[in-house]
Amino acid sequence: NAGVTQTPKFQVLKTGQSMTLQCAQDMNHEYMSWYRQDPGMGLRLIHYSVGAGITDQGEVPNGYNVSRSTTEDFPLRLLSAAPSQTSVYFCASRVRETTEAFFGQGTRLTVV
């Protein structure tokens, strides 16, 4: 059972480039979320989904896009990378809002 799989683990982008962070889970969880972690800021929610075809914004959505065409996959797109998006990104999934979240290994993104 792989759990939540994120790719890539590390990425360096130039300002203005776009890219997609991949997230897949094999636990048939309805809820999936993307967080970013910055020093001293904890985990901040970027976008989330409560099921295939349903997405919504979190606390810090600007500059990011998501879609959820299947239960398993929840990719995060950076439209035009900026240095302020340098961060560690975590994807998470859970059964429903009252259960624990399972996290991927994280993606360390640097925008230069």
Partner 1 sequence: AQKVTQAQTEISVVEKEDVTLDCVYETRDTTYYLFWYKQPPSGELVFLIRRNSFDEQNEISGRYSWNFQKSTSSFNFTITASQVVDSAVYFCALSASLYSGGGADGLTFGKGTHLIIQP
Binding site for partner 1 (CB under 8 A): 31, 33, 35, 40-43, 45, 48, 50, 56-59, 88, 90, 92, 94, 97-103, 105-106
Q: Pick from 105, 90, 16: which is nearest to 58 by CA? A: 90
Shortest separation between residue 79's beta carbon and partner 1, angstroms: 20
Closer to partner 1 by Cβ: residue 22 or 103: 103
- Our CB check for partner 1 shows the closer of 17 and 27 to be 27
Residue with the two structure tokens 């130039």: 14
Amino acid identity, position 81: A
How many other β-carbons are positioned within 10 Å of the β-carbon of residue 55? 17
- Shortest distance, position 102 Cβ to partner 1, whole Å: 7
Smallest distance, partner 1 to C-beta of residue 82, A: 22
Total residues found in the chain within this entry: 112
The helix (run of H) or strand (run of E) holding residue 47 is strand 42-51
Residue with tokens 């560690």: 88
Give me the residues paired with residue 76 across strands: 21, 66
Q: Least CB distance from residue 18 to partner 1, whole Å?
A: 24
